Chains A and B, each alone.
Chain A
Amino acid sequence: MNNIFAVAGVVIKELYRRKDFYVLFIVTILICLVMASVNIFNDAKIVRYLKEICLLLVWISSLVIAITTTSRQIPAERENRTLLPLLAKPLTRSQLVLGKFLGCWLACGLTLLCFYVFFGALSASREHHWPLLNYFQAAVLHWFMLGVVVAMTLLGSLVFAASSSNSTICFVVVGSILFVARHLDQVALTLREPLRTVIYSIYFAIPHLELFDVRDLVIHSWPLISWLYFSLALLYALGYVAVFLTAACLVFRRKAVN
């Protein structure tokens, strides 16, 4: 267990010693502040458009950070050959995969924390109330969704050789899940067999990341999600994380490293 945390610690150190996070964070802040300064019919209380833009940027930045950080982890270890001294130590390959996952996921959590604190401050500056529980639900769901993305990317980085092609593939997959997964079953109904069955099975097989996108509820100040469904969603995410990580361990175990 200790060595898993050691690996995770290095990943987190890498995140905050590299510049990507700061760049994305500052760009997000700047865009939001510019947007906040736009005068709309001399009404300073309009807030939802600002929440929407801010959350959109947070989502994009978090996905960029999650996917790019994760997809370069193992390829970089391989290229720099640090994988060798690492695996020559009492660290199994599964522990390495788990450590990398944990590191990337915790790193995403830290980034999200920064982003959501900014988001809360921004919206409170206009709305003058703090629906903290709503923010908590949104951030935690977001974080667990990133967990699935991280696990998937990690698996991808073991399957596909080049890290850049892996991150492109992951962006495309995650993007299309977020946009169309909710409606795939309806799409399937309009198709003929055997395509219908294929699309239908995809609909049930993929992780429904769009469930975790509760931005609309936060933007429009909807009431809290019931805690039962909230926890079920977290379990659902953890299930997929487990599936992807197991697959990653299996793939990695077969691979020759040198």
Chain B
Amino acid sequence: MNSPRTFFLLLLALLVSCFGLAAHLQPQFQAWRGSRASGDIFNVVLGDSRRMFANNFFVKADAYYHSGYYPTMFDDTEAFKTTHMAADTGAVKDKNHGDEHGFLGPTRNWIDAFGRNFFPDRHTHLDEGGADDNLGGTENVREILPWLKLSADLDPDNPQTYIVTAFWLRMRMNNVAEADGILHEGLRNCPDSYDILFELGRLYNESYHDLDRARNVWEQGVRLWLKIYPTLDPEMQKDHRFIMEQLTTHLGKLEEDAGNLPHAIDWFEAAQKVSATPAHIQEQINRLKGKLGLEFNPLLKPLY
């Protein structure tokens, strides 16, 4: 009874029954909605908590952008409400209003004062050389990319990550091909994202100088925006009006450059409806109208 052979036979029987059970349960498990078995490794390991991590890494990228000079939850974070690297892309509304140079405040006691010699304590930007005063020039900004990539991998449904990544790849590292790639990946994961379309249009316009494709994606962006916000509801669209304004003003400029002044005026008028500074856009419209040689409201004449 106690011979090794019985032991092996028993083991074999157990293994067979385990496989059988697994094979039997597999389809049911697949059908179960909460299944993590599908999808990628992050999904399997972390489940939905991965979004939290994704945001964490996104912020980490911004901390890298500042060479580690970054507030914690205990510091004054007014100046860091929107990550600077995102705000700099122009695709995200900047809500910062605080002293980004001195969020640490005056020293509180000797330990605090002493401790400030041992961690980053100056506001610097990576694309302006970083902490050591220009070792790698503007290309230093590459250091934020790993965290952005990780953030995108963890939470593929957040368009902001793709936009920011593409912006820095294109603007500071002249890596247009990779920027194009990440934006397309973003579009695959969030097909309804007008912000990604906006950034893609900028890439076509500024890097490839391909006005037609730029116009196409931007117009597509506007259509998507209108589909999502069919009526103007200032409360609901608070943050999203900004991107619509960007889309329409960029389209306006594009049409102006292409010589389609009436089209351009149409776009600027659309921009006026969502803009936070309509007067500023009115100037543009008036300028274009003047170019067209059309008569305009004489009351506005003193502005020129």
Contacts and interface: CB of A to CB of B under 8 A. Distances in A.
In-complex A–B contact (CB below 8 Å): yes
Contacts of B149: 40-41
B117 A208 contact: no
Interface in A206-237: 208, 210-214, 216-217, 219-223, 225-226, 229, 232-233, 236
B131 A222 contact: yes
B131 A211 contact: no
Contacts of A220: 64, 67-68, 120, 130-132
A210 B115 contact: yes
Contacts of B67: 216, 220-222
Interface in A233-254: 233, 236
A216 B119 contact: yes
Interface residues of B, number: 31
B145 interface: yes
B145 A41 contact: yes
A187 interface: yes
A185 B72 CA distance: 14
A38 to B, nearest CB: 8
Of the listed residues A183, A222, A229, A236, the one surrounded by the most CB atoms of chain B closer than 10 A to its CB is A222
Nearest to A185: B108
A17 interface: no
Contact of A212 (B118, B142, B145, B147): B118
B20 interface: no
B130 A211 contact: no
B120 A216 contact: yes
B114 A229 contact: yes
Interface string B53-76: 000000000001001100010100
Interface string B126-164: 000011100100010011011101000000000000000
**Nearest 7 Cβ contacts at the A-B interface:** A216-B68, A49-B146, A220-B67, A183-B74, A229-B117, A48-B143, A221-B132
